[in-house]
Chain A
Amino acid sequence: MTAAGPVALDVRGLSKHFGGVRAVDDCSFIAPKGKVTGLIGPNGAGKSTAIDLISGFKLPDAGSVVFEGKALQGLSPHRISRLGLIRTFQTPREWRELTVLENVVLARWDESRETFWRGVLGLRQAGREATLSELSEARGILQEFGLIALRNERAGNLSGGQKRLVEFARIRMAKPQLVILDEPMGGVNPVLGERMALAIEGFITAGTSVIVVEHNLPFIERVTDHVVVMSQGSVIANGPFESLRSNQAVVDAYLGEMPTYEQPGA
């Protein structure tokens, strides 16, 4: 594939094996800037491992990852995050004992304000102003996601769907250049699914490119501009969703799994 336009993420020859299992095997794809890229494939295709390798949570055996012109391989997760690539996890990872508002505010990393000495001796006035603007920004985001009434609630008390929304609100607060969403629809009802589809459009408007890993194919069809299909660790096809229906390799890879998807609104 040749990318028509700027590239957010360029993955080349990424490989990782665990013992004798080639979880990710010479995986290459491009995520265009300002677009939603879907990453699909049957269970065990290596999608989650690929995300771990890209975001620094696992070290690849081979291959390169270039994000906004910077090589990422070998960098630790927090460094990659600070460069503007943030990923989510298959299960929501909220900070349970913190409130919803604290979860959202803390999503933005700001080293200068987070040092120990600033905490103990910091100038109160400057700190207060930064905090106030940050709080009102976080309130606005929570308003948008319909979570404002829950802002003082302990995040661990929320329902599974609400936790997914908090995750999305955190991404909005962090404003990364690229977000990788790992199965955001897991355990989410179709109505909330539409809200998430709109949120993904909101990310694009806010200047955040998106990669979304998902088993829910109607959702993928609804939100993505372009889809990458993985099977047995490698990319077997890519292109717009419609073009994949007629792709024999994709149909073969999904054989036996296709009919199990729930259709929202069906």
Chain B
Amino acid sequence: MTQYLVSVLTEGAIFGIMALGLNVIWGWSGDFDLAYYGYVALGAYMTLVLTIGRQPPPVQYILGLELPYPVAVLLAVASAMALALVIGLIALRHLRGIYFSIVTLGAVYVLYAMAGQFVPLFNGYQGLSGLINPMADALGIDFNSYQYFFLGLAIAVFLLVYFFMSRVSSSRFGLALRSLREDERAAAAFGRDIYRLKLKAYVLGAGLGGLGGALFAAYLSAFNTSAWAPLETVVLYAAILVGGRGNIRGVVLGVLIVYVLIEESTRFLPEIPGHPGIVLALRPIVIGAALVLFLRFRPQGLLPERHYVDRVQPAAAEANAP
């Protein structure tokens, strides 16, 4: 049971980082990005090819540098940001709404097809493996306590990301991003460089996606195309929507509800005899139903976005009301 709790919490922290990243792009800047899981996947793949060594054929992949894990994480984040910069430069120039979503969906499927079919890149559909308990030797952590160490690491990174996002959320930068979401022509009329701001948000969010992917790779110690489908992004969207778009506390709550409650609770349902896998199939149905119900009845989520509430009472404020 302890082991189970440790794995749930570790996953929760990792998905929390990913959801906070997507919240920058969709929650604040307002762009419905469907390429997001591509940045998670790139972060995971890059972490693996940077940390594991060369392996004998037929296994093939790029790099294989055996770098220390922390260095690999930084480079993985950088590569996710670089890819986001390229895709963002193209997709954010003139496209908005559904057109932006279609282009990002196309981009992520190109990435998915390349990862699966262009074998020399990340070993094709077989994927990569062999990143076992990074930093364990260097820090002298034994095999049994490693999972606690990694849980602590995931939570520490999550808290750091949460802290930075809470500062961004209350900053002028965060407010300017929200103005783009609400009305970007007005934002331009009041001096905002829409393209640059949106691009910054996109690259920042993708970087957090890459960071989540880098932790995910170490958690799974392997990664391949069956570990990610581009539409995993939709589950992250469900988490943000249920919790509260634009509110980082809400986003974390949404991750707890969607990933931990829905994903994990179905695990304990009894199998129905003669219908293997039906419980597994229930999960997307429950998530989809939650998505539809929230969109219909509480689109702002459980914890709506918070705004500055001015409590200073100017003299004769009420008397002058229109």
Contact = CB atoms under 8 A, between A and B. Distances in A.
B113 interface: no
B173 A98 contact: no
A110 B175 CA distance: 12
Contacts of B189: 55, 77, 81, 86-89, 93
Contact of B317 (A93, A120, A148): A148
Nearest to B195: A76
Interface of A: 55, 57, 76-78, 81-82, 86-89, 93-99, 101-102, 106-110, 113-116, 118-120, 122, 135-136, 139-140, 143, 146-152, 154, 162, 165, 170, 174
A102 B308 contact: yes
B178 A148 contact: no
B54 interface: no
Contact of A162 (B186, B204, B322): B322
Interface string B286-310: 0000000000000000000101111
Nearest to A86: B189
B320 A95 contact: no
Interface stretch (B43-51, B67-75, B163-171, B210-218): B163-171
B288 to A, nearest CB: 26
B172 interface: yes
B307 A89 contact: no
A97 B179 CA distance: 9
Contacts, number: 128
A109 B190 contact: yes
Contacts of A162: 322
B198 interface: no
A102 B192 contact: no
A253 to B, nearest CB: 29
B194 interface: yes
B264 interface: no
A111 to B, nearest CB: 8
A75 to B, nearest CB: 12
Contacts of A109: 190-192
B232 interface: no
A116 B172 CA distance: 9
Contacts of A97: 178, 181-182, 246, 305, 307
A81 B307 contact: no
Contacts of A114: 172-173, 176
A116 B186 contact: no
Contacts of A82: 191
A81 B181 CA distance: 19
A116 B175 CA distance: 11
Given A118-B173, A120-B167, A162-B322, A89 B191 contact: no
Nearest to B168: A119
A208 to B, nearest CB: 14
B318 interface: yes
Contacts of A87: 189
B190 A118 contact: no
B314 to A, nearest CB: 5
A120 B164 CA distance: 6
A106 to B, nearest CB: 6
Interface residues of B, number: 39
Contact of B314 (A57, A89, A110, A148): A148
Contact of B182 (A78, A96, A147): A96
Given A81-B190, A99-B308, A102-B308, A119 B317 contact: no
Given A114-B172, A143-B317, A81 B179 contact: no
A78 B188 contact: yes
A151 B322 contact: no
B200 interface: yes
Interface string B183-210: 1011111111110000010001000000
Interface string B137-181: 000000000000000000000000000100110011111101101
Given A89-B185, A98-B179, A170-B190, 10 more contacts: A76-B193, A78-B188, A94-B186, A95-B187, A98-B182, A99-B310, A102-B307, A110-B172, A114-B173, A146-B322
B272 interface: no
A88 B186 CA distance: 8
Contacts of A170: 190
B183 A95 contact: yes
B281 interface: no
Given A81-B190, A95-B179, A147-B322, A101 B317 contact: no
B285 interface: no
Contacts of B176: 106, 114
Which are the 3 A-B pairs with shortest beta-carbon distances? A119-B171, A109-B191, A95-B182
30 contacts: A57-B188, A81-B191, A86-B189, A86-B190, A93-B183, A93-B185, A93-B186, A95-B186, A95-B187, A96-B183, A98-B179, A98-B307, A99-B310, A109-B190, A109-B191, A114-B173, A114-B176, A118-B172, A118-B173, A119-B171, A119-B173, A122-B171, A135-B312, A139-B312, A146-B322, A147-B322, A148-B320, A152-B309, A154-B307, A174-B190
